[in-house]
Structure formats: C-alpha cells, structure tokens
Structure 1
Amino acid sequence: MRSSRAVRTAELPGSGVTDATTRDAATNDTTTRARESAIISYHGTEPENALIPGHTTESGGVKVIAALFRGLVSYDPVDAHPRNAVAESIETADSRIFTIRLKRGWTFHDGTPVTASSFVNAWNYTAHGPNMMQAASFLSHIEGFDEVNSPGSTVRELSGLKIIDDRTFAVTLSAPFSEFPVTLGCSAFFPLPDAFFEDREAFEAHPIGNGAFSFVSREREKNILLKRYDEYAGDDMPSIGGVDFRIYADLADAYHDVVADELDYLDVTPFWALEGDRYLKDLPNRTHDRTYLGIQTISFPLYDPRYADPRLRQAISMAIDRVKLIDKIFQGHQVPADGLVPPAISGRAENQGGELCAYSPGRARELFEACGFAGHIELTSNIDSPNRPWMEEICASVTETLGVPCRFVAIPTLGEFRRRLNAREMTAVFRSGWVADYPSIENFLSSIYRTGAADNVGGYSNPAVDALLSAAESAPTRERGWDLYQQAERAILRDMPTIPIWFQSTLSAWSTRLRDVQPNPFRELDLYSVTVAESGGDPG
C-alpha cells in the first residue's frame, strides 16, 4: 500500500508537533488516500473474446489484458525498450536455448504464487491446436509447436518447455531466434493461474491475472471495471485506485465526454477535432500528439477469387493519394507509409514500397485495365472508432483515379468486424492495421504475413516470403536478420496483400483531473505513472 496512516498523537514535549500540525497531516493523508483510491475512466471498445491473454489480439481487449497481467518483460512507456518484469534473468548462449529465472514474490489476484508452471502451462494451452487460441502462432518458435498446434493434436505439451524448479524453466526453440527475449512482453506469453485450468468458464466470468489491476466486473457493451491490486509485486505500483474501461460505440460521444470531464482518458481524438485546431480550444493543455509503433492499412480477403490478381491490388494502392487524404482528414497529423514497418523500429529500411506506395494515377489505371476486374469496389470497417471518413476518402480517390464505383460499407462494432474477419465472411477490402505487440521488425512481418499466422486474416501465402522470414529469424546476428526481413518486406509489397496508408500518430486527450499523463508507444495510457490531482487543480 502506498497510502500512509493518519497521525493520531498528542503533542510531545519539544517535538514541535501541535494539534494544528496533526490536523494538517491528517488532512494531507486523507487527500493522498483519496487520490490513490480514485478510479479513472478510460475509453474502450468491446473486446472480441473473453479476457484470456492467449486469445486476445485486438486493441479493445489487449489494453485490458495489459492492466490485468504482467509478463516476463515489460516495455518502457517512452521508447518501448524491453526490461525484465516477472523475469529475474533470461539467459542464452546460442539464441536457441533460454533459461528463464523468475523473481520472488509475484502472486495472482487469488493469492496463489506465480511459478514456472504458470508460464509453461499457459504457453502449452495457448499452443494446443484444439483450444483454438488466436495468439497461438506467437509461440511458433518453440520446439514442438507444429505437433502441438495441429487441429486434432492429442499432444498437449511443447517439447521445448521444461520446468527446472518453481522459479526456473528452460525454453528450447526450433531454431535460433535472437529477437525472442524482446517478444516476451507480448500478451500471448503471459502466465495463467491454476484456476483457469480448473474452470475456464469461471475464469472467463471473473479473470484472474498477476498485474497491477484486478478484475471487478464487466457489463458487455458498457464497461469493464478493474481495481488496483495492492499485492502487486512490480516496482511500478500505480498511484490510482483503478480503471473503468468504458465502451463507446461512437468516438464522438467519447470526445464530448472528455471535453466535459465525464471521461478521463481518450486514446485517439476524432479527425474533425483537428480541423481548425478545434482540440486546442476544447481541451487546453489536455492533449498529446505523438507517433507510436503502428501502421494503418487496408487488406484484401484473398480467399475471394476476385482479388487474386496482384495487379488489381497494386492498382488500388497507386490510386490512393495518401498526402491529400492525410491533409484533408487529419490536417497533416499522419505520415504517408512507404512500407510495412514504421519508423523507430530497429532494422527498418525507408521507401521499401517505392512506386507501389506512391500516388501514380497513370500507372494505376494501366494495371487496373490489364487485370480485367469487373464490378464495383467495396471498402469496409467498424465505425465505433473514427474510420468512416478516411475510408470514404480512399473510395473517392479510387473512383476518381480508376473510374470504377467504390463505396464504403459500415460495420457497427469492432467485435462484429473481427468476428466476420475470423470467420472469413468478409467480401470487401477491409480496414486493417497493426500496433506492435513488441518493438521488433519481425512483429510487423511474421505475425501478419507468414502463412497461417494468427493475424493473417486475409489468407495471404507466399512460400518465398515464408522462407525469407524463417531465414531472418534464424540468422546468426540481428543485423543479418534485418537484411533478410527487408527482403521479405519488399516481396510482400510486390504481392500487395495489404496496402500501407500511413504510419500512426495519435492525439490523445484527458480530463482536467489527470496529471503525469504518458501515452506509451503502443497507443495506450501508461497506467503506472498517471496520477489524479486534488479537486480544483490546474490541468496545465
């Protein structure tokens, strides 16, 4: 507990402690306790699935999971560099066999200890194919994954995991992978308590993590309430009492609520708040504009034969005037994407897409006419985030350039949007994008474009790309691996299963009572440093 106890003592001779001093101390203590018990409200979208780390890959669920759980490593809220969290040490001599030692004192919210088996059992469950965990492919580097992950597998344990003692386990990969320690802050690698395996249904109703916040309640399409876990063993205990993730169907409602001090934090403001710098008038000293580790894209459902010709996909990419779109919709607050990997990621190369990511109307029309596409083009997205305006602007650019009708089809919620994607029911070009799970070039390529990857929802597959990604992952040095990843990126862009639109920046906003606001590189509020001011404080 951070709060101190009120001073209740009579004056001692020569101590200088008067009744007034005692009253002031008690008042200050009451104020401190009030601040540290404060629940802040945080804009959210309805998670697609139950709050299970290995089954959560979309932003609405991931930021809740990140509050409920802590992994072996965490990422710095300013520059995303990895640092040990639950792990005391992660050691390897060859980037293939890793020995992981846990710190003492970590517990789950039900009071049970976090042990080596908490990680090993969770990873085995996530990897097991019949469990159909969406984040399973993040574990694909571990020896034995292919056998365990097959749909009808009766093998439930990864051969590459071995428990040494309560605080130590060994991980053997199928091949060297120098980026492996960086990945371990991803939610797919979080631990699970015994309670999950004893009764998954009960766990889904009341998730139990090991993070700084514990679960209180959830009302679907309304909110998810968490409170601070005072037995949290991390060295970054939050200064707030809890978080109320409020589910909004319309971002405009969230914006108006944060302006009116009815919502404490909003990850991203609507595009129209940028027009004429409206946000500066609405939210003086209450916004922050920063780039983060993300990219906005649109993707093709390649299981639909209408999109089989890469010339069609290239034509649509070159028909999009990215600069005009960003200036019109975002007042210049985004950066046109020249590839698939955003700035600030180690190993990134500039201008990987070349002409394919540039507005080239003549070449776009030439490719479009050559591919023989018939009919109109549809784009689709969920609209509980501010996607309609820029998607409609893409449609306008495509229609103007290619002379073919293009229309936007709205899907009400992110949950329904993701359900259709995962069920392969999508027939339109769909909004896509990526915010890093961990700060590595590998995460922007292997996780999305490898055949069968968890987030390869469009069904892209190219054996040559798979081979390059595998070679990059097993390269003897990170630098050699980066070169191979860059080759894979260029090959993917030639196939154009996904069209890069812009590299992400976000304008976040908050209420007058928040202080020490730090948006992290993953577009989330750093819940470990934010504080709540005394009533009536200056928001500046």
Structure 2
Amino acid sequence: MRGITPWKVAVGLTAVALAAAGCTSTPEPETPKNDGSFIISWGEPQNPLVPAGTSETQGGVVIDALFTGLTNYAAADAKTEMANAESITSADGGTTWTVKLKAGWKWHDGTPVTAKNYVDAWNYAAYTPNGLINGTFFGDIKGYTDVTSEDPDGEGPKEAPKPAKDKMDGLKVVDDTTFEVTLSGPSNLWPIKVGYSAFMPLPDVFFKDPAAFGQKPVGNGPFKLDTWTKNVELKVTRNDDYQGADKPKVKDVIFRVYTDDAAAYEDVKNGQIDFQQQVPSAKLIGDLYKTDFPSASSNKPVSSSAFIAMPTWLPGYNDPKVRQALSMAIDRKLITEKIFNKTRIPANGWVNPNMAGYKADVCGEFCTFDAAKAKALFESATTKPKEISLAYNGDASHKDWVDAVCNSIQTSLGVPCVGKPFPTFGEFRTLVTTQKMTGMSRAGWQADYPHIENWLNPLLKTGASSNDGKFSDAAFDAKLKEADGTADLAAAEKLYQDAEAMLPALMPTIPLWHTSQQSVWSAKLGTVTINTFGELDLATVTVK
C-alpha cells in the first residue's frame, strides 16, 4: 500500500560480530461467525485519517477499511480491479480519461457517492495550502502547477505564495456518476495508479470541518469507524450498506496499539489478540514462529523494501561520494543472514523485485560491501561527517539492525556511528518530514501500486511526498517527466529504468534489503489472506 512503514519488526540479535502472490490459510472447515470480531496489533497513525493526508501504513490500513476508491488491487497478484468505478476509459491514447461510477453507492452518513466527491477531493489534495502530504500524486493532471506553490524557506518564517488557482483545469464533472480527467500528457499507467488511497473520494461533510473529519472520518468503504481512543485502540464495524464486492465476513475489527512487538507476539500466542503482521526476528531464529504457530502463520515475499534516508541538505551528506561510501560500508549479506535469518534479500537497486519494470543489480558496486573501497571513497570526499548517526523509531525493535549497520560503517570507515532512537513512530516521522534530523534515518517503502514508477516519483522526485532526504536532481526529474508522459507502458517502463540507472552516481538513498514477511494469527481466525503488499485482507477474514 503505502509509504514509509513503521516496520513493526523486532530484531533479536544473536552473538554476531555486528552487534538484521497472495497467501491464504484456510484451516479445517468450521461455520464462520458472521457477527464475530478480531483484534490486530497496530501503531498509532502519524496524521489524521484523511486519505490524501496519510502516507504511512498504520493510518493506511484504517483508511483502506473505511474508504473505497475507483479501483482495488487483487490480493493474489495486485492486478487492477474495478471497485467504485464502473469503467475508466480513454479515447485519445491516454491523455483524457472518462470515469464512470457504479450507481447506488453511499457514504456512511447515507448521502450518495458522486463524481463531484472525487473531483472535490482531488482538487483539495493537490492545493498546496491545504498541506496534504499526498498532493503530489496529482501532478500529472492538467493544471496541477496552477494549484501549487513552493515554500521559499521550508520551516522558516516566509510563507509560500498563494497558488494561481484552487482547482485543476484537468478535472470536469459530467454528471452525478461521470467525470473526466485530462492529463498533461498521455499515460496508460494512470488507471493503475488510481487504486492508491490518495485518489479516494471525500464526502461533502469533510469540507465543513476537515480537522474534525480527520478524527472521526465518514467513508464509503466496507467498515465504519466506531470508536478511536488515541494511543490505545481503534474499532471499526461492518458497513451493512456497502455496495462493493469485498463485503466483510465479520462485524468488528479492533486495531490495538502496541509499542513492543515482542509483547504483541505473546498476546497473539496467548489468544489476547488475533493477528500480528510481522513477528519479532527473535522468533525467526530456527523458525520458532512456526513452532509456536504450526498452522497459523505465513512466510512470503511482499512488496516492501528498506532504505536509509540521507539528509542531502546537510554539509557532509550533500556529497554523493559520502553517500556511496556509506552504502559500500554496509555488509547487507551478513546482516540479513545473522539478524533476519535470511528472511530479507540484500538490495542492489531502488525498486522492489515484485514490481512491473524491476531490473536487477542497478546499484552495482555501490550496494556491494567493500570496506577498503568504501574507506578510500569516503576519504576522497571534500566534506564529510565526523560522526554518523542513524535515527529510528524506538517503539519497534529496530535497535539491533541499526546497531549492526552502524557497526559495519564504523568498522569500515573508522568514523563513529551511533543509532539514535525516538520514542514513537509518529514523533520520528514528524521530525523526518520537517527536516529536523541531523543525520541519516531509517525508511521503509511499501508499494502503493505494483509498478516501478511508484518507487521513483513519490520517493525521489524533487518535492515529492515521501522524499525524506529532500533529494533533487534536474536531469533525473527530466527523465521521470519523459517517462510520465509516455503513453506506451513498455516504453514508459524502459524510461523509468533509465531514470533508476542514474541513481548510483547520485546515491540519493541507501537501499538495504527487500522483505519477506512472517505473520502469525490466533486459533480464533479461520480464513486469513495476506495480499501482495503484505497486508491482512480484512474483508476475507473469518472467525470461528
């Protein structure tokens, strides 16, 4: 699904030198309880629950329960399926798209879902004074530049100029169930992108009080918000008027906040809660999680990868040589073997292998461990940090792998490297997105849609929503723009590959590893489906 993941992964380090297709389980047949409930471990979201304002997984999983957009991605293979849309068609090769909605859909407050709800939501998200983090996803719509402006000094006192307009020229309501989207250039990737939650609609009630809405959202999805006690739990209940095909099998789902995933694991084991998306890595050693959950666990590759975000605006980190040297100083193979028990694959590029357009070994020598070359390259840099830090959220167990990465860097380069924990995921992400970090920071990316473009534009284009390091390169941006405006999907993929091939010389972030996910659940659950993004498919879960 989305952006920077909290990585609820406990990393249990044994004694090492470094002090690292849909999956469905259907056990024996039992009559499911249509009015049952279950509890999953969760983390408090960074932002209010507004689709285009949510770019991390904890808020995202709730957004996906409460809202349904034009399309969904199939759990087994992530192929695009129509959801609220009846059809999405283009008669001119991909520049103008006509979207027809299915009739009869309603918001949780009983009002109809209309074409205007989409157009209003997208205009609101794109308009930069509204401050929604996913606004850049609308950048290919005609008139986007008219509704955006750039802040001249970031967090400084100067205000960004007011955009020329507050509505994009490329959006037009035709009737209650039809709207047209005109892009700035042809793109046949666009119908794939719109399954991401940033493109979900908003009801009229949102615009009366956006701040209040974010605390108690009114959606159009398979579940309705019941209660939300901050930092404790959030409860959703089935929407019996839901018109989509993915109707829930249970009545209630409770998202319970945990700041210790080892405790969450034990609570699943003891039947106190029912699902943990990623087990602590201490339970990976010797496949202990399989022993604890012999018929209630899964292990599968997912569309998620780990990176280190680099503060390219800071002296010492603004030289690509420094960033390349830091990457070469990390022994990915040893860390993934000893800490993650070979459940992670060392990355040699910026795109997850499950994506359309993926190409192997793009990063080359700069993602290959070589302490001697790393030190020589580091020493050749004109300006370099005298001490290195790697920040992470302390409410998930990142400490051991962060310490391992730092130990590898320090041993290779001879420069002190320390892990820097922050208490909660939300606090950590706020410091990252406001450029308050003074060193490197951990990052994870879970695909929003299964295409190479999703690993480049949102993460590395100038000003993009999840460009944590504020990386900017005009030639790279130009290549992305060329790819964005190419109608033929195969030709566009090649251009995105060309853009990725530019990254080793620039080293905007450090790719670490690609993820296989190990999930566990209680004996209470019957059917459990993990989609290709690594998320529990809430609609298909049954309870015994």
* Alignment deviations for residues 454-493 of structure 1 (CA, whole Å, 9 cap, x no partner): 1112110000000000111112411111111111112123
Kindly state the Cα deviation for residue 271 of structure 1 after the two structures are TM-superposed. 1.0
* Alignment deviations for residues 383-415 of structure 1 (CA, whole Å, 9 cap, x no partner): 222322111110111111111111101111110
Q: Which residue in the other structure is 1:123 paired with?
A: 122
Q: Which residue in the other structure is 2:137 paired with?
A: 138
Q: Which residue in the other structure is 1:317 paired with?
A: 327
Q: Which residue in the other structure is 2:63 paired with?
A: 65
Structure with more contact order per residue of length (Cα contacts < 8 Å, sep ≥ 6):
2
Name the CA shift for 1:275/1:164 in 2 (closer, same or farther; >3 Å). same
Q: Indicate if the aligned counterparts of 1:178 and 1:473 stay in contact, CA closer than 8 A.
A: no
3-state secondary structure, aligned to 2:539: coil
- CA distance in 2 between counterparts of 1:451 and 1:463 reads 8
* Alignment deviations for residues 89-138 of structure 1 (CA, whole Å, 9 cap, x no partner): 00013111000000011111111110100100100111111101100000
Q: Which residue in the other structure is 1:470 paired with?
A: 481
Between structure 1 and structure 2, the one with the greater Rg is 1
Residues 99-498 of structure 1 aligned to structure 2 (within 5 Å): 99-150=98-149, 152-153=162-163, 155-372=165-382, 373-498=384-509
Q: Aligned letter for 1:235?
A: A
Q: Aligned letter for 1:237?
A: K
* Alignment deviations for residues 58-93 of structure 1 (CA, whole Å, 9 cap, x no partner): 111111101110010000111111111000000013
Name the CA shift for 1:327/1:34 in 2 (closer, same or farther; >3 Å). closer
Q: Indicate if the aligned counterparts of 2:311 and 2:318 stay in contact, CA closer than 8 A.
A: no
* Alignment deviations for residues 20-74 of structure 1 (CA, whole Å, 9 cap, x no partner): xxxxxxxxxxxx9981112211111110111000100011111110111001000
Q: Which residue in the other structure is 1:7 paired with?
A: none
- CA distance in 2 between counterparts of 1:396 and 1:255 reads 28
Kindly state the Cα deviation for residue 281 of structure 1 after the two structures are TM-superposed. 2.1
Q: Aligned letter for 2:415?
A: V
Q: Which residue in the other structure is 2:154 paired with?
A: none
Give me the CA root mean square deviation.
1.4
Kindly state the Cα deviation for residue 202 of structure 1 after the two structures are TM-superposed. 3.0
* Alignment deviations for residues 244-274 of structure 1 (CA, whole Å, 9 cap, x no partner): 1111111111111111111111111111111
Percent of pairs with identical residues: 41
193-202 or 259-268, which moves further after superposition? 193-202
Kindly state the Cα deviation for residue 143 of structure 1 after the two structures are TM-superposed. 0.6
Gapped regions of structure 1 (runs ≥ 5) = 1-31, 534-540
Q: Aligned letter for 1:221?
A: N
Q: Which residue in the other structure is 1:8 paired with?
A: none
TM-score, with structure 2 as normaliser: 0.91
TM-score, with structure 1 as normaliser: 0.91
Q: Indicate if the aligned counterparts of 1:292 and 1:521 stay in contact, CA closer than 8 A.
A: yes
3-state secondary structure, aligned to 2:300: strand
Q: Indicate if the aligned counterparts of 1:75 and 1:83 stay in contact, CA closer than 8 A.
A: yes
Q: Aligned letter for 2:450?
A: P
Q: Which residue in the other structure is 1:44 paired with?
A: 42
- CA distance in 2 between counterparts of 1:81 and 1:287 reads 25
Q: Indicate if the aligned counterparts of 1:41 and 1:264 stay in contact, CA closer than 8 A.
A: yes
Gapped regions of structure 2 (runs ≥ 5) = 1-29, 150-160
- Paired residues in the alignment total 503
3-state secondary structure, aligned to 1:531: coil
- CA distance in 1 between counterparts of 2:163 and 2:211 reads 22
3-state secondary structure, aligned to 1:135: helix
Q: Which residue in the other structure is 1:15 paired with?
A: none
Q: Indicate if the aligned counterparts of 2:37 and 2:543 stay in contact, CA closer than 8 A.
A: no
Kindly state the Cα deviation for residue 276 of structure 1 after the two structures are TM-superposed. 2.2
442-451 or 399-408, which moves further after superposition? 399-408
Kindly state the Cα deviation for residue 201 of structure 1 after the two structures are TM-superposed. 3.2
- CA distance in 1 between counterparts of 2:307 and 2:278 reads 17
- CA distance in 2 between counterparts of 1:101 and 1:374 reads 55
Q: Aligned letter for 1:99?
A: T
* Alignment deviations for residues 301-326 of structure 1 (CA, whole Å, 9 cap, x no partner): 11212201111100010111111000
Kindly state the Cα deviation for residue 294 of structure 1 after the two structures are TM-superposed. 1.4
Q: Which residue in the other structure is 1:78 paired with?
A: 76
Q: Indicate if the aligned counterparts of 2:281 and 2:340 stay in contact, CA closer than 8 A.
A: yes
Kindly state the Cα deviation for residue 199 of structure 1 after the two structures are TM-superposed. 2.2
3-state secondary structure, aligned to 2:259: coil
Instruction: Tell me which stretches of 4 or more aligned residues in structure 1 moved more than 6 Å.
Output: none
Q: Which residue in the other structure is 1:18 paired with?
A: none
Q: Indicate if the aligned counterparts of 2:316 and 2:322 stay in contact, CA closer than 8 A.
A: no
Q: Which residue in the other structure is 1:523 paired with?
A: 534
* Alignment deviations for residues 443-463 of structure 1 (CA, whole Å, 9 cap, x no partner): 000111110011112110000
